[in-house]
Structure 1
């Protein structure tokens, strides 16, 4: 009691500290998240500048920054290289990485499977199949750069339809079986089945038209032009904005569909919008950049690990930033550094990131089960 006789308790320094601790932890948490997002943005900007500066003709970083900020360039050739040759592929890689990462995060929640992503579950293979049917099965159709607007939309629409078909089959099996491992195996089998159909189409197709399909299986952002980016950018922007509105309903789905329904979430609508967005993202990215694997798997797990939370309001934007960084770094390693004349497929590089993440998820899950 207080020595003044007022009858009011005096809190000790430890009590004051304990009561103030939650506020300090909250401020520390906010500072950590803000710092992490700031670091990711700076890292992404740095990778963008380096990738544009490096190539068969190196351009000084200062010159790149002047061109990107609209200032006068020292050389008109440098401006042409930066704006017309290198910037489109960088923007395409940024959009592809962000889109695949956001799609992977949504799929992992919808399927309740930490190993779900458009590549692993065969969605990208379905998109390749849809595009292959149009490219190889329609007379007079060549690679995207030689197609008219109608034909481009035909290839893109077919890729989206193929991705949506595989997604619907996988989701139906997931609801019927419920075992994440079985769903994963089914997704892999669907991918192999789609690949087998593509191989059959290739076998019976004129060899002169097979080059049109090469990039789809390799994955590359180098052939994307500003004209094609109009379709990619608009599609990705619409779906990425939609993911912002789906963040809160996806948080509710983390605790189950019944719980989400009890909170007033329209589960069917969330499923439809999420699956539609993933199908559009996977189809568009595959149609213009090919099948880029493991980004949608690795980026969400890295985001959750760094943020130490599963809140989609934070995980989705962080996944987008990390996915963009992964694809751009992979493009640099694959040949965007200008050190070699040949380029590796992006899948060959992204696998070095995705494969360890798969092993980590599997081993950590087994360790948790054994601990119980």
Structure 2
């Protein structure tokens, strides 16, 4: 039954992509198709990265409420953009090459997360809960520091900063998308080989080690995979805080299994579907009077409260 639901998700995703790709084509077809291919590709990459990273993070933390955003990735991203605009000026920031900015954001967040995982896990003897607590504290520090700098920024330059405080899917270029896709494919290929071992990790540290799993090494590798996925998605479009929690809840509710071979692709496809349908709603019905992330956070928050009230999240 779960396999059939996974195929249903795949067929639905293909149909939605096809409809959005060929919808309302009139003139300049080649140019429009190129723009749509980049935008739809960006939505698919970001959706897959968020879905997979959230399920992986909940596996190693053994908590269905937590997402990678609790580690302060979004706060670090906001701090980076704030510092760039403050020290370089909004005009210089606006004219920075997109590839350079993407590479800078990705490498900074990746290096920061790997350093955090290496030293904190070693100091706490691989206590994931303490590491999450340290991540929360760092996130608060980053957000407080960025708020302080924002008060010093010129009002005209603060308008530039506001444009990057929410995820934007219209500014993706082809080179950034290809780089993000390559990293996503590499991580997903590695994760696909570890699905059965990840299933064992759900049994807990002691049980997994008794079954022959090198738990500490695998935990660190999974955290590195999560950091790559989160860094890529955040650097590509900006922070999307709530989507992962919504996607994970939907994937578990729909698939009704703990097998990562089914949960991970289901979460990736559900996340991509939400972004694609949300973008279509945003462009055609709301006529760009809001941002896609605002729609996702509002609808996702309501849905999560419904799941919580019905006891669907345990």
Give TM-score scaled by structure 2 length: 0.84
Q: Which has the higher contact order (CA 8 A, sep 6+)?
A: 2
Say whether the 8 Å CA contact 1:128–1:159 is kept in structure 2: no
Equivalent pair of 2:42/2:169 in contact (CA under 8 Å): yes
Tell me, yes or no, if the aligned pair for 1:121 and 1:188 is still in contact at 8 Å: yes
- Residues 14-47 of structure 1 deviation map (CA, whole Å, 9 limit, x = unaligned): xxxxxxxxxxxxxxxxxx2332122111211222
Residue 350 of structure 1: aligned partner:
296
Q: Answer whether contact 1:334 1:345 (CA < 8 A) is retained.
A: yes
Question: Within the alignment, does 1:106 sit opposite 2:40 as a pair?
Answer: no
Structure 1, unmatched stretches of 5+, are 1-31, 61-74
Judge conservation of contact 1:162–1:283 (CA < 8 Å) in 2. no
Q: Secondary structure at the match of 1:119?
A: helix
User: What displacement does 1:270 show?
Assistant: 1.4
Q: Does 1:79 align with 2:30?
A: yes
Q: Is the 8 A contact 1:126 1:163 kept in 2?
A: no
1:97 to 39, 47, 69: 47
Is residue 333 from structure 1 mapped to residue 281 from structure 2 by the alignment? yes
Q: By how many angstroms is 1:194 displaced?
A: 2.5
Q: Give a deviation string over 1:294-317, Cα, whole Å, max 9, x none.
A: 221122221122111111111111
CA-atom RMSD in angstroms: 3.3
Q: Residue 33 in 1 paired to residue 2 in 2?
A: yes
Q: 2:167 aligned with 1:198, yes or no? A: no
Task: Decide whether aligned partners of structure 1 residues 133 and 277 sit closer, same or farther in structure 2, where only a CA change above 3 A counts.
Answer: farther
For the pair 1:156 / 2:156, whether they are aligned, the reply is no
User: Which of 182, 192, 198 lines up with 1:250 in the alignment?
Assistant: 198
Name the counterpart of 1:50. Answer: 19
Aligned to 1:59: 25
| Rg larger in structure | 1
- Kindly tell me: are residues 44 and 239 of structure 1, through their superposed partners in 2, closer, same or farther at Cα, counting changes over 3 Å? same
CA contact (8 A) 1:121 1:170 kept: no
* Contact 1:124–1:163 (8 Å) recurs in 2: no
Contact 2:246 2:300 in 1 (8 A): yes
Residue 317 of structure 1 is matched in structure 2 by: 265
What is the number of residues matched between the two proteins?
312
